Amino acid sequence: MKNLTRTLLTSLILITELLVHAQQSPLMQRTASAAADKIYDTKQWSFDSYAPIRATPLASGNSVYFGNARGIFFALDKKTGSLKWKYETGHAIHSSAIEANGKIIFTDNAQTLYALNASDGKLIWKLSFGKKLTYLWRFDYYYSSPIVYEDRILVGGDDGFLHCVGLNSGKEIWKFAAGGVIRTTVSIDNGIAYFGDTNGKLYSIDAKSGTKKWSFSTMGDTLKSSDYGFDRNAILSSPVVYQSFIIFGSRDGYLYCIDKEGKLKWTSNHNFSWVISTVAVVDNIVVTGTSDGHFVQAVDLTSGKELWRYKGSTLFWSSPLVMNGKIYIGGYDGQLYCLDLKSGKRISQFESGATMLSSPVFNDGLVYVGSDDGKVYALKGRDEKEITPSENLQKFAFYEPGVNVYYKNGSDVMVKSYLANFNYKILGEDSLNAMLNRSEAKNSVLVFATDYFPNSIISDRENSLLRKYLDNGGKVILTGMNPIVYKIGGEAKSPYAFNVPAADTVLGLKYGENDTRSFGGIIPSFPTESGKEFGLADYWVSMLFIAQDKVDKVLGKSENGEVSAFIKNYKNGGRLIQIFIDPDKPSNLDSILKLSDAALN
């Protein structure tokens, strides 16, 4: 009996060690498997922590864990986003957490390593590291995240040491002195730990003893940052070990691939643009983002040859997530981009309310990501067939300065700029008329970034330029209240009389009488399930409602059940899509892109 008990205990210990050994920072979880026909760009829920979230969320068990810049660490229900518990450290938390043996482990900006009880958030132990080293070049928004190796925690510090700490005791076992601050998260392969520092060196050390094996010097190691006016030394990209390769980026403007002996295999030159992303590697394709170069890049694993690059209009510091042939990566513009792995072409995007430095992770059917708007988002998948952009789609946006119909204080310029960044051609009144006169309209979409119809496109009733465009198969997206219901004029280009019947004669939209009865008051409205799939706001307030039998698809209804947002079909596949963007602070602009992409389906 004693032998049986001893055998069982030994087996349990071995199983526990294997489970602990497998624990990896969510930052390093850059690949996943999900339903191949789904694109994860639709909000399931969001939770507001009221301070920027830059670390990568940890999804484990039934919970999501993350910290914010205010120094509060949260545990949420993974499916609903409801708060389970929170713990306050008082200092910014920009390291990603890890779970092991019922403990949640993370560091904060005060150089303290914490272990909390995963179920209730109670402190188990904490350990303070040494005095911070001076690091003048900053712009370092991420902190080294702990990883668990066997029964130990490895994490880098501001003090220039890689720390090895007992998982259960919270006591330091050893520490290794690097040349600079350690911001990278450790990768372990066959008992060897790899990490970089802010002086431009990548280290290889024995994970059990802390003994140095070798170090690799980047080109940044020889550069003097003050000669350039910005940092050209630091390695902030965490190394990824894949097969016999170690891949990482540097602020010297290069993506590096070395072997496990520290010998250089290849580099990819980003021309001074920082490479901060931790790469994702799948099917011998290496994917990374870059800083001032404003692109996402894929290179061949063995040669370093560039396969493609997606040229955006923003910084990409977030680390990419690759699953089922799609890439998800956050941009400085607050978008979570979805790109095709093989071609780099944009498939879709999700818009948060501020810069997105957090990196996405996938777990149990949802993608989780944080944002500087203080929210963590859980995104669900939707059918890829509904939203795959057509390569032949011609995209236009009409903008007219000085109009005072719907948008306030010129806020429509934000809509225009957003669309321009996604390659919509911006039209004025003259070019708008020429565009609407085209005989072939089926493969085009026109967004009214300014909520205004020039008289030249709506005169002549059902024979107007606007109606002909719709009947020829064109797609129109209105981002505010349908301007046709007003007579607009004067230097201020503002409404001076009702013109409700014109909506019927020009567009076939029967709102009602030519007075306030058609407007119904300023009423809250909410998206339908279809509206949610296209990324419409959680709610909006608007006037002007229409009966459901007058439109073909309902995207949003008022609190009284009247239709606010909708799609109306015309001849030859033409469509008019009515949505409402916030007139004060335009947001949810990704809904315009999603509706544009879906307009041909």
The pLDDT tens digits of the residues spanning 236-291 come to 999 999 999 999 999 999 999 999 999 999 999 999 999 999 999 999 999 999 99
Query: Is residue 439 within 8 Å of 425, Cβ to Cβ?
Result: no
Give residue 23's pLDDT: 63
Give me the pLDDT at residue 36, please. Answer: 67
Structural Rg of the chain based on CA atoms: 27
Beta strands in 89-239 (DSSP E): 98-100, 103-107, 112-117, 123-128, 147-149, 152-156, 161-166, 172-177, 187-189, 192-196, 201-206, 212-217
Two structure tokens written together for 411? 């806020």
309, 295 Cβ separation under 8 angstroms: yes
Q: β-pairing, 575-578 with 444-448?
A: unpaired
SS3 189: strand
Pair (107, 196) in one structural domain: yes
pLDDT at residue 393, rounded to an integer? 85
Helix (H), strand (E) at residue 595: helix 590-598
- The pLDDT of residue 5 is 41
Q: Are residues 127 and 276 in the same domain?
A: yes
Q: What angle do CA 201, 203, 207 make, to 5 degrees?
A: 160
Q: Which SS3 state, helix, strand or coil, does residue 264 take? A: strand
Lowest mean pLDDT among 14-23, 428-437, 515-524, 575-584: 14-23
In 3D, which of 60, 92, 86 has the Cα closest to residue 73? 86
Assess whether 287 and 406 both reside in one domain. no
Single out the residue in 343, 363, 386 at which a domain terminates.
Answer: 386
Residue 582 pLDDT > 50: yes
Across the beta sheet with 444-448, what order do the strands follow?
425-427, 394-398, 444-448, 475-478, 575-578, 563-569, 553-558, 523-527, 540-542
pLDDT for 67-116, tens place per residue?
999 999 999 999 999 999 999 999 999 999 999 999 999 999 999 999 99
**Amino acid letter for position 34:** A
Alpha helices in 452-498 (DSSP H): 455-458, 465-471
Mean of pLDDT values over 535-553: 95
Sign of CA dihedral 311, 312, 316, 322: negative
Give the domain-ending residue among 333, 366, 386. 386
- Identify whether the C-beta of residue 140 lies closer than 8 Å to the C-beta of residue 236: yes
CATH code, 402: 3.40.50
Same domain assignment for residues 12 and 153: yes
At residue 35, the pLDDT reads 62
Residue 481 domain boundaries:
394-598
Shared domain check, 281 and 408: no
The model's pTM is 0.91
pLDDT of residue 17: 40
**Cβ count near 265 (within 10 Å):** 16
Nearest to 252 by CA among 225, 280, 288, 216: 225
Sign of the alpha-carbon dihedral angle for 308, 313, 314, 320? negative
Extended strands (E) in 197-342: 201-206, 212-217, 240-242, 245-249, 254-259, 264-269, 280-282, 285-289, 295-300, 306-311, 321-323, 326-330, 335-340
| Phi, psi for residue 456 in degrees, rounded to 5 | -65, -20
Residues 168 and 268 in one domain: yes
The Cα–Cα gap between 199 and 220 comes to 8
pLDDT at position 448 over 50: yes
* pLDDT score of 560 more than 90: yes
| CA distances in angstroms from 202 to 143, 286, 538, listed in the order given | 16, 19, 46
What whole-number distance in Å separates Cα of residue 289 and Cα of residue 329? 8
Residue 334 has pLDDT above 50, yes or no: yes
Burial class (CB in 10 A: 0-12, 13-18, 19+), 1: exposed
Co-location of 375 and 428 in the same domain: no
| Domain tally, the chain | 2
The residues, any chain, with a CB within 8 Å of residue 245's CB and separated by 6 or more, are 257, 258, 259, 265, 301
Q: Please give the pLDDT value at position 158.
A: 95
How high is the mean pLDDT of the chain? 92
| Torsion angle of the four alpha carbons 13, 15, 18, 19, in this order, in degrees rounded to the nearest 10 | -110
Closest by alpha carbon to 66, among 274, 358, 343? 358
Same domain, yes or no: 358 and 414: no
pLDDT confidence tier of residue 490, bands split at 50, 70 and 90: confident
Residue with tokens 């900006």: 109
pLDDT tens digits along 151-165: 999 999 999 999 999
Res 34 pLDDT > 90: no
CATH number at residue 245: 2.130.10.10
CA distance 260 to 264: 10
* Cβ neighbours for 349, distance < 8 A, ≥ 6 positions apart: 41, 335, 336, 337, 338, 590, 593
Q: Does residue 194 share a domain with residue 101?
A: yes
> 375 and 403 in one domain?
no
**304 and 169 inside one domain:** yes
pLDDT of 600: 62
Surface-to-core class of residue 520, CB atoms within 10 Å of its CB (0-12 exposed, 13-18 middle, 19+ buried) = middle
Average pLDDT of the residues in 511-532: 94
Q: Percent of the chain scored above 70 by pLDDT? A: 94
Q: Are residues 424 and 370 in the same domain?
A: no
What are the tens digits of pLDDT across the range 321-330? 999 999 999 9
Lookup: tokens for 127: 């350990």
Which of residues 386, 413, 445 is at a domain's end?
386
- Enumerate the β-bridge partners of residue 46: 377
